[in-house]
Chain A
């Protein structure tokens, strides 16, 4: 099985940097996704990590350490529109349909 942990809520200031952590326990780790979800809307894909290290994409970066079962999403130069939930999802094993979601971190950006 899998056990995915994220903080429930975070608050950060506009223009600042925030790091959202995700820890997981799974057998046969095969990749980690981050999705952004605005309230009442569909999740949208942000990033994917399968190897250790940092993946940078504009203001957003995602880091993975497979040995520690740990990932983080880094958001720089925060904007008000970044207020959303951020979902960590872990793929387990080589088969299909093996994606498991954490409960999400609700980020509030304040002026």
Chain B
């Protein structure tokens, strides 16, 4: 089944403890992206990747890192999480990143205490 897989689904952590949210897609998509979703603010893009080893900042990149060593994987790294990073996170992919619909992962609800 074609899908975007995100893990974990829920995560509670403490300030400063490094964490990684994994994202994997099995559709051979070139384009992958991370969003965070907060009440009243909608989906905001954190980072995106047009292909392997090609990543770039979105609208809210501060405090986040990403890597794209393989086409299928696009992990989101929080080196030193802070409470303002408590949010619902979504990974998404599409074939090329141009005029196509996005396929979203099931989301990661992160709470930073």
Contact = CB atoms under 8 A, between A and B. Distances in A.
Interface size class of A (residues with CB under 8 A): 20 to 34
A92 to B, nearest CB: 11
| Of listed A42, A44, A102, A103, residue having the most chain B CB within 10 A | A42
A96 B90 contact: no
A96 B109 CA distance: 28
Interface size class of B (residues with CB under 8 A): 20 to 34
Nearest to B43: A101
Contact of B102 (A31, A96, A99, A104): A99
A30 B96 CA distance: 16
A31 B44 CA distance: 19
Given A30-B99, A96-B31, A101 B42 contact: yes
A97 B41 contact: no
B101 to A, nearest CB: 4
B40 A103 contact: yes
Interface in A18-72: 30-31, 33, 40-45, 48, 50
Interface in B47-104: 48, 50, 56, 58, 88, 90, 96-99, 101-102, 104
Contacts of B40: 103
A91 B41 CA distance: 18
Contacts of A33: 101
A87 interface: yes
Interface of B: 31, 33, 40-45, 48, 50, 56, 58, 88, 90, 96-99, 101-102, 104-107, 109
Given A43-B104, A97-B31, 18 more contacts: A42-B90, A42-B104, A42-B107, A43-B43, A45-B102, A50-B99, A87-B42, A95-B98, A96-B31, A96-B96, A97-B50, A97-B58, A99-B102, A101-B42, A101-B43, A101-B44, A103-B42, A104-B42
